[in-house]
């Protein structure tokens, strides 16, 4: 499903070159639940932007569903983001004066899905994250942080994307609420088969996933599954 081949991201030129990523290669199969972790400045955020089709590598190739994303135009990248990738962010990125239903439905409105199908898909996504129906008509600024993140996850699911990409999804949550959100990701992966990549700097968060890719100084230094090193 995902294949990264010798990904490099270089900023500057000449003596001022900085390698944010330097020769990163890995594959992720459909249905995997993977974390990408590393300290601040390790390159994991740069890698996230490339995987999310928000940026392109300076060198190397990135394939998503056998399509070379690294060679697409800006318009084509926008289509990839709209149709193949669901994003979940630390800051939720919900519209505060829109209802829960409206927030989750927005990607379907942009995709010009019929009103009847929009409502059906939105309700299915909210049920998948176990958000009670008595919260659906609340404005997003009237619900708790954990509920807001579940709304954000539902919004990421609603277009049935190939990939769900979550950037520090528990960063603004207390420990107990963060654990519930991580359990939601686990359930979606194991029961629904969603492919999920979770970006985090916390080992405790990465431990919720089935596989961890560790980035340091722009290089992949470890790829481990079930406490057994792959490289």
Q: What domains can you pick out in the chain, each with its CATH number?
A: 2-229 (3.40.50.300)
- Does the CA dihedral 102-104-109-112 come out positive or negative? negative
What confidence score (pLDDT) does residue 231 get? 47
Beta carbons within 10 angstroms of residue 219's beta carbon: 15
Tokens standing for residue 23 = 């020769």
What confidence score (pLDDT) does residue 34 get? 96
Question: What is the distance in angstroms between the CA of the first residue and the CA of the last residue of the chain?
Answer: 20
Q: Tell me the per-residue pLDDT of 6-23, one tens digit each, with 9 for 90 and over.
A: 999 999 888 788 999 999
pTM: 0.90
* 90 touches 171 (CB < 8 A): yes
What confidence score (pLDDT) does residue 113 get? 87
What confidence score (pLDDT) does residue 192 get? 86
Radius of gyration for the chain, computed over Cα atoms and rounded to the nearest angstrom: 18
Beta carbons within 10 angstroms of residue 204's beta carbon: 12
Whole-number Å distance between alpha carbons of 119 and 108: 9
Ordered strands of the 2-11 beta sheet: 18-28, 2-11, 59-64, 67-68
| pLDDT tens digit at each of 231 positions of the chain | 899 999 999 998 887 889 999 999 999 999 999 999 999 889 999 999 999 999 999 999 999 999 999 899 999 999 999 889 999 998 889 999 999 999 999 999 888 889 899 999 999 999 999 999 999 999 999 999 999 999 999 999 998 898 999 999 998 899 999 999 999 999 999 988 899 999 999 988 999 999 999 999 999 999 998 564 454
Going by their DSSP bridges, the two strands 219-225 and 228-229 should be labelled as antiparallel
Whole-number Å distance between alpha carbons of 204 and 37: 11
Q: Tell me the per-residue pLDDT of 166-186, one tens digit each, with 9 for 90 and over.
A: 999 998 899 999 999 999 999
Tokens standing for residue 128 = 């998948």
What confidence score (pLDDT) does residue 191 get? 87
């Amino acid at each position: 499903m995902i294949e990264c081949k010798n990904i490099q991201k270089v900023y500057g030129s000449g003596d001022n070159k900085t390698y944010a990523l330097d020769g990163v290669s890995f594959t992720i199969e459909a249905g995997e639940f993977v974390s990408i972790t590393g300290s601040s400045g390790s390159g994991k955020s740069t890698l996230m932007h490339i995987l999310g089709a928000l940026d392109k590598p300076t060198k190397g190739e990135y394939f998503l569903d056998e399509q070379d994303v690294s060679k697409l135009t800006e318009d084509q990248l926008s289509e990839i983001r709209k149709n193949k990738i669901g994003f979940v962010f630390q800051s939720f990125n919900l519209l505060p004066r829109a209802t829960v239903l409206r927030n989750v439905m927005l990607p379907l409105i942009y995709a010009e899905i019929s009103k009847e199908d929009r409502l059906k898909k939105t309700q299915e996504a909210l049920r998948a994250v176990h958000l009670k129906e008595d919260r659906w008509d609340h404005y997003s600024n009237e619900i708790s942080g954990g509920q807001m993140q579940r709304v954000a996850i539902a919004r990421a699911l609603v277009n049935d994307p190939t990939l769900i990409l979550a950037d520090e999804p528990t960063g603004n949550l207390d420990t107990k609420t963060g654990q519930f959100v991580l359990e939601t990701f686990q359930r979606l992966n194991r029961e629904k088969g969603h492919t999920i990549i979770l970006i985090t700097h916390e080992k405790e968060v990465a431990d919720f996933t089935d596989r961890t890719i560790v980035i340091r100084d722009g290089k992949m230094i470890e790829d481990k599954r079930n406490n057994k090193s792959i490289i």
